Amino acid sequence: MTTALPERDGREAVVTLDRREGPYGEVVLRQRGRDFEIIANGCFLMDTADGRSERLLIQAALDELDRTGSPAARPSVLIGGLGVGFSLAYAVAEPRWGRIAVVERESAIIAWHRSGPLGAFSGGALDDARVEVLHTDLLEYLAAADGERYDALCLDIDNGPDWTVTESNDGLYGADGLAVLWHRLRPGGVLAVWSAQPSPDFEEALRAVGFSDVVTHEIPVARGVPDVVHLARRAG
């Protein structure tokens, strides 16, 4: 890790802890006071300031499986995006989950959890026997012809359907991407998608490809529009 002199942005001192070039551009880990931030190609992605919506991503999916009666005694879950680790840590804390796969394409983010400061937020979850870390692009993983099916897909990719930092992530939220997600769920399975803002158009897109029980949970934030979790189900 390298440490730079503090930068000032009008609030608190910001310290750049690590900066790496990857196949998708630059990824930066910064510290602002007690919190850590991940920046991709100059755009803010996430920080450790809250975490409520990232935890709701997991809890809402499990609640929906309980409501509809999951056929699996210990359902499997795929988490799209390791991020700052809130979603993975929350899933590992729930013994009802069986297999927990987490897909992360940025090797830097995985390293910041294994041997860097983000490990404090994932809480050793990467070492849980149920967890497999898949270092790959989510779209490529999902598109594999012989791909595994899951009881729940919990996706926190980019800033959500309507505002993506990485152009290639747009494909996840279009009709073709949603059809792939539908096929990667077992019958009765649940899709949960984190977004930085509500998206009625995304709700309609979910219904158009065959998802049912589409709902949106809002999580108020200190400034601006609420974070949301879009929830949908593949009918059994």
**Between 179 and 1, whose confidence is greater?**
179
pTM value > 0.85: yes
pLDDT band at 4; cut points 50, 70, 90? very low
* 186, 195 contact by CB (below 8 A): no
CA nearest neighbour of 5 among 35, 15, 27: 15
Look over the chain and give the mean of its residue pLDDT values, rounded to a whole number: 88
d(C-alpha 48, C-alpha 43), whole Å: 16
- For the residues 166-181, what does the mean pLDDT come to? 80
Complete edge-to-edge strand list for the sheet that includes strand 100-103: 131-134, 100-103, 77-80, 150-155, 185-195, 227-233, 212-219
> Looking at residue 5, what DSSP letter applies?
P
d(C-alpha 158, C-alpha 126), whole Å: 21
Q: What would the 3-class secondary structure string for 63-132 be? A: HHHHHHCCCCCCCCEEEECCCCCHHHHHHHCCCCCCCEEEECCCHHHHHHHHCCCCHHHHCCHHHCCCEE
pLDDT in tens, 136-150: 999 889 988 678 999
For residue 8, give the 3-state DSSP assignment. Answer: strand
pLDDT in tens, 187-231: 999 999 998 888 899 999 999 999 999 999 998 877 667 889 999
Give bridge partners of residue 13 from the DSSP assignment. Answer: 8
The pLDDT value given to residue 119: 97
d(C-alpha 75, C-alpha 64), whole Å: 12
pLDDT band at 154; cut points 50, 70, 90? very high
pLDDT in tens, 54-89: 999 999 999 999 988 876 789 999 999 999 999 999
pLDDT band at 6; cut points 50, 70, 90? very low
pLDDT band at 44; cut points 50, 70, 90? confident
**Between 207 and 44, whose confidence is greater?**
207
CA distances from 75 to 46, 101, 155 (A): 28, 12, 16
d(C-alpha 153, C-alpha 164), whole Å: 19
